[in-house]
């Protein structure tokens, strides 16, 4: 009997993959395999090079402990909202993924591939909050989370020759990582109980931009069935290579080197340190800071990720998209400098989008939509609309016009933390989607939420995500009827203490921004050097 029990446990924790043999562990009733390499380590001569296939391994690879996360800035004690978004150890050898599966068998379960966000500079697929355990157990899914290059190592553009004369080098190394991970999942997931023909890619914030970019990439065609876009900052204007080289030059100066060859010789902590300086160089008042951005180079990224789901095979994917009601409060509500903003200064900021003549009227429209609004509230609602809500709604509108509607939602539940100043801020939906609040105990923005309200909403959202991954339709028995977004009803599910579908809740914002200056392709100006 003892031998039989041991064999059963061994069967659940050992998997034979095309890449090699893995030994994982049982956690929360599901099998977990951690720090599995999906691409060759991007070190030495492979730094700032497209991801290369991993050669695999011989023998049984231990997969019971997390590997290093991608190098990034780190503050002891975390931040006042999330409490931190990535912890040591960090290392350039970080191209690994984690897998949660009910069993490494031949059951061919739907697969959820999660891409973390973090403003293109932070985050990790190994964060406890991104554990796939609840999805695997509650939804009978196979869940994969990935680490990929971020900050200067993933997003710095060094020029068409990679800066060292050794041959063409694509931009967007982060995207080559994610393509490599997707290919690895396609080739190996059947041995882990997953169905390679039913892969949903999901991401939040910068991870949602990644998800859209991946969905539209020619090399990903046929590999993805559906996508979930949580709070994508599609309002970002993304640079072309020529425009990006201006910030590359500033970064080289901050790093204390004269060219890319010298930059390649620096240890990664020096690269991350120089990235901190680029924050200051690119920061503008009233804009979300983005020192590193994807670059639309016409090769690795053909068009803005917000447009990819309107073209080619990507137009046929099932899409869920949503935003939180007060996205921008995440970055601005606790900043005393922004709290003291004057009406004149906010009106000047509005003029950068709408023009000086229209700006006072736009300010008045925002103020009337939020009774008792301070200038700072108007500014945060403007940023939320420009960067997140309006471009997401525009994608839904254009998909509906093509006859390929999306499922749209708005997360409205405000957190009582910090006297309610955060509202329904960016990232707040994440613990509800994963339904794993015990893994978010470090996060200050969850303080004070009533458990009954919290847990009921989490159940509704978590099951909706499971249903969508399984079927392409988020409806389930404990959810009010959720219809796709179309040009007539514009149905958007409101996730709050009471979950209910609403007709066109973004109407005011949508119509207001339709009148913005026609020479602007989106509402959010790129960070420029000062």
How is residue 358 written in tokens?
A: 């229209």
336 a catalytic residue = no
How far is it between the farthest Cα atoms of the chain?
A: 82
262 a catalytic residue = no
69 a catalytic residue = no
**Cα 336 to Cα 189, 341, 372, distances in angstroms:** 48, 9, 19
Active-site hit among 145, 205, 210, 231 = 205
Q: 156, 82, 80: which is closest to 116 by C-alpha?
A: 82
With helix as H, strand as E and coil as C, how does 442-502 read?
CCHHHCCCCHHHHHHHHHHHHHHHHHHHHHCCCCCCCCCCCCCCCCCCCEEEEECCCCEEE
Q: 113, 137, 130: which is closest to 195 by C-alpha?
A: 113
Active-site hit among 326, 327, 386, 397 = 327
Residue 14's Cβ-count burial label (10 Å; 0-12, 13-18, 19+) is middle
Q: 461, 409, 443, 469: which is closest to 136 by C-alpha?
A: 469
How is residue 46 written in tokens?
A: 């492979």
- Residue 167 DSSP symbol: S
| Sequence-distant (≥ 6) Cβ neighbours of residue 6 within 8 angstroms | none
Q: 235, 224, 213: which is closest to 299 by C-alpha?
A: 213
How is residue 15 written in tokens?
A: 């998997």
What's the CA gap between 312 and 387, in Å, rounded?
Answer: 25
Alpha helices in 98-165 (DSSP H): 133-139, 151-155
Instruction: Count how many residues are written for the chain.
Output: 530
- Residue 386 DSSP symbol: I
How is residue 72 written in tokens?
A: 């990034």
Strands 14-17 and 20-23: antiparallel
Active-site hit among 85, 426, 462, 524 = 426
Q: 42, 45, 53, 48: which is closest to 18 by C-alpha?
A: 53
Q: Is 113 helix (H, G, I), strand (E, B) or coil?
A: strand
**DSSP count for the chain of H helices, then E strands:** 18, 14
Strands 96-101 and 142-146: antiparallel
- The secondary structure element, H or E, covering residue 358 is none
What's the CA gap between 88 and 91, in Å, rounded?
Answer: 9
Q: Dihedral of the CA atoms 214, 216, 218, 222 (nearest 10)?
A: 80
Tell me which residues are annotated as active site: 205, 327, 426
């Amino acid at each position: 009997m003892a031998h039989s029990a041991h064999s059963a446990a061994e069967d659940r924790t050992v998997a034979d993959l095309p890449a090699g043999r893995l030994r994982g562990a049982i956690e929360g009733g599901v099998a977990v395999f951690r720090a599995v390499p999906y691409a060759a380590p991007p070190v030495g001569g492979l730094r700032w090079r497209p991801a290369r296939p991993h050669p695999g391994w011989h023998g049984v690879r231990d997969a019971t402990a997390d590997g290093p996360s991608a190098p990034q800035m780190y503050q002891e004690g975390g931040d006042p909202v999330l409490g931190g978004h990535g912890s040591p150890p960090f290392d350039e050898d970080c191209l690994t993924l984690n897998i949660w599966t009910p069993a490494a068998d031949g059951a061919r379960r739907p697969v959820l591939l999660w891409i973390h966000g973090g403003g293109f500079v932070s985050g990790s697929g190994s964060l406890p909050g991104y554990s796939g355990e609840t999805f695997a157990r509650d939804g009978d899914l196979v869940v994969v989370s990935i680490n990929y290059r971020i900050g200067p190592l993933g997003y710095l553009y060094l020029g068409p020759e990679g800066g060292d004369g050794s041959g063409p080098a694509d931009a967007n190394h982060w995207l080559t990582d994610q393509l490599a991970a997707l290919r690895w999942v396609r080739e190996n997931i059947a041995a882990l109980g997953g169905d390679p023909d039913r892969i949903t890619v999901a991401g939040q914030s910068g991870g949602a931009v990644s998800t859209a970019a991946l969905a539209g990439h020619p090399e990903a065609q046929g590999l993805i069935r559906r996508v979930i876009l949580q709070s994508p900052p599609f309002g970002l204007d993304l640079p072309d290579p020529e425009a990006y080289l201006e910030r590359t030059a500033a970064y080289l100066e901050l790093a204390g080197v004269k060219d890319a060859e010298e930059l390649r010789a620096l240890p990664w902590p020096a690269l991350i340190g120089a990235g901190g300086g680029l924050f200051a160089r690119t920061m503008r008042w009233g804009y979300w800071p983005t020192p590193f951005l994807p670059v639309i180079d016409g090769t690795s990224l053909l068009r803005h990720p917000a447009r990819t789901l309107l073209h080619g095979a990507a137009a046929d994917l099932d899409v869920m998209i949503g935003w939180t009601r007060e996205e921008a409060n995440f970055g601005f509500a606790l900043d005393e400098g922004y709290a003291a903003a004057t009406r004149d200064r906010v009106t000047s900021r509005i003029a950068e989008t709408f023009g000086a003549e229209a700006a006072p009227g736009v300010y008045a429209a925002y103020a009337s939509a939020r009774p008792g609004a301070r200038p700072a509230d108007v500014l945060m609602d403007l940023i939320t609309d420009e960067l997140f809500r309006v471009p997401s709604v525009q994608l839904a509108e254009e998909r509906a016009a093509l006859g390929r509607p999306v499922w749209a939602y708005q997360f409205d539940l405000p957190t009582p933390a910090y006297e309610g100043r955060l509202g329904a801020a960016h990232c707040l939906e994440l613990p509800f989607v994963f339904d794993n609040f015990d893994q978010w105990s470090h996060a200050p923005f969850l303080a004070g939420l009533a458990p009954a309200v919290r847990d009921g909403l989490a159940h509704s959202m978590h099951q909706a995500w499971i249903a969508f991954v399984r079927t392409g339709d988020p409806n389930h028995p404990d959810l009010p009827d959720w219809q796709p977004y179309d040009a007539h009803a514009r149905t958007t599910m409101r996730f709050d203490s009471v979950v209910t579908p609403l007709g066109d809740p973004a109407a005011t914002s949508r119509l207001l921004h339709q009148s913005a200056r026609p020479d602007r392709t989106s509402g959010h100006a790129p960070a420029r050097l000062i």
